[in-house]
Amino acid sequence: MLRDYEDGLTIAPGESTVAQAATDWLAYGLSGLDPSTVATNTTLVKTHIIPALGKRKLRDLSAQDVDKWLAGKAKTHSTSTVTRLHSCLNRIIKRAMARDKVRRNVVELCRVPQGKEGRPSKALTMAQAEEVLKAAEGGKNLYAYIVVSLLTGARTEELRALRWDHVDLVGNLDGTPPIPPYVAVWCSVRNGGDTKTRKSRRTLALPKRCVDVLIEQQEAQQKEPGDAWSEHGLVFASTAGTELDAANVRRTFRRVIKHTSLNPKEWTPRELRHSFVSLLSDNGTPLEEISRLVGHSSTAVTELVYRKQIRPVLHGGAVGMDRTLRCDRER
């Protein structure tokens, strides 16, 4: 304290705790972030950080304390979760340090240990994909969603924000160059309405099966009493015409899976995107083309995220999916 005083530094109050710093960070350090990100960080802090380290005074928190805490979390949580916990605590202490609550950030001295193996993402085989599509047929809300998700590889947050004015179900095949029916993936339900990355903005040709189900979806919406759906213009909407909730999509998807040979507890809507990559890769589509179709910034991202779905031997998404799922027989 004398050294801080002689150096002209503000003397950090000795009674400030990790819990106080964490509460301050949650209140003021997350402004402008996506609501889902805020919710995730809040859960991590209140569930893991405050109960374990909250009572510790900031000036007494040591790197050894953090190492021990991270090691304990690594025994029961995945590496990605432990990494997020480390990141949250790091930002909490860094904010406290910037406000003269503590002199240094000991969290930066700690490495993230290897956690438990997370649940691996899976992909549907050809037979399983057909089984899921058959089980979804006749479903009032999710059939078209499942078909478009599986046959285009769009993210669930992109489909939930998809508007009819971003869909062309006719195209112009007589033009120069010819324009097939397409969907413009330019928005998502993320904060600000933008896609995950700049390269995630893409325009995808639609397989005939997608065109057919989307025409049916549009006709069904127009027949509904009232015009709640038209106010927001969403392709996939709730009964009130608003954006679908992620949890409701997940529950409805698992109800579909119950009518297949698959275990509904083991599958989520995001794995339709993984299945898109896997089926195209099995069909010989080049990795570079798959990367563009799923909106990744590079093939390295595609290989990292979908490494279990990419085959050793890796031409367009809509054509590939039409051929893979034998949609040409309907033409």
Return the active site residues. Answer: 155, 196, 273, 296, 306
Cα 278 from chain centroid (whole Å): 18
The residue whose two tokens read 């015409």 is: 241
SS3 at position 112: coil
> What count of other Cβ atoms lies within 10 Å of the Cβ of residue 9?
12
Task: Answer whether 212's CB lies under 8 Å from 330's CB.
Answer: yes
Whole-angstrom distance, CA of residue 308 vs CA of residue 280:
13
288-292 contacts at long range (C-beta below 8 A, 24 or more positions apart):
289/315, 289/316, 289/317, 290/314, 290/317, 292/202
Whole-angstrom distance, CA of residue 331 vs CA of residue 324:
15
Task: Answer whether 81's CB lies under 8 Å from 117's CB.
Answer: no
SS3 at position 331: coil
Whole-angstrom distance, CA of residue 268 vs CA of residue 255:
11
Whole-angstrom CA distances from 154 to 146, 172, 230, 259, 307 are: 10, 23, 23, 24, 18
Contacts of 10 (CB under 8 A, 6+ apart): 4, 100
The residue whose two tokens read 């040709």 is: 205
Whole-angstrom distance, CA of residue 8 vs CA of residue 196:
45
Query: If you write DSSP's letter for every residue of 192-241 in order, what string do you get?
Result: GG--SSGGG-EEEEPPHHHHHHHHHHHHHHHHSSSSHHHHHTBSSB-TTS
